Amino acid sequence: MELTGRIIAVLPANSGVSARTGNPWMSQEYVIEVPGQYPRKCVFRIFGEDRIKQFNIQNGEDITIQFDIDAHEYNGRWFNEIRAYNVVRGQVPPVAGVAPVAGVAPGASPFPPAPDAATSPFPPAQEPAGEGSADDLPF
């Protein structure tokens, strides 16, 4: 999966030593805002000091993240985790309210043509019977 947007928060890095293996670990979380009519925000995590340094994500940067979603249970409650495994720079987020249509020639409609009445799976719409009709619905 992937998201394209702008980084609006870089949270402090977390680190420690694994109790199971004794190896050190590091992770860092970021907040990305996906543009649109109703902008959405998503927190994602990058695990591993080498990846954190390699991606070098900065606040205000426009990026595309590729990520996996996983869930885990803790004390009877479930939590989602969004873990990014790749960051792509240089892609501009789409303009709010405008959805790009891939693979459509300029001037062509992205929607299939409407079926004619003979092949339509639905009956044709009927004209209203007028006021005071017995089958008038209140809505």
Question: pLDDT, tens digit, for every residue of 103-120?
Answer: 445 555 555 555 555 566
What pTM, to 2 d.p., does this model score? 0.63
Q: How far apart are CA 123 and CA 86, in angstroms?
A: 50
Predicted confidence at residue 91, as pLDDT, reads 59
Residue type, 55: F
Beta strands in 11-76, from DSSP E residues, in sequence order: 14-17, 24-34, 40-47, 62-74
In this structure, of 6-20, 40-54, 96-110, the range with the lowest mean pLDDT score is 96-110
CA 67 to chain centre: 11
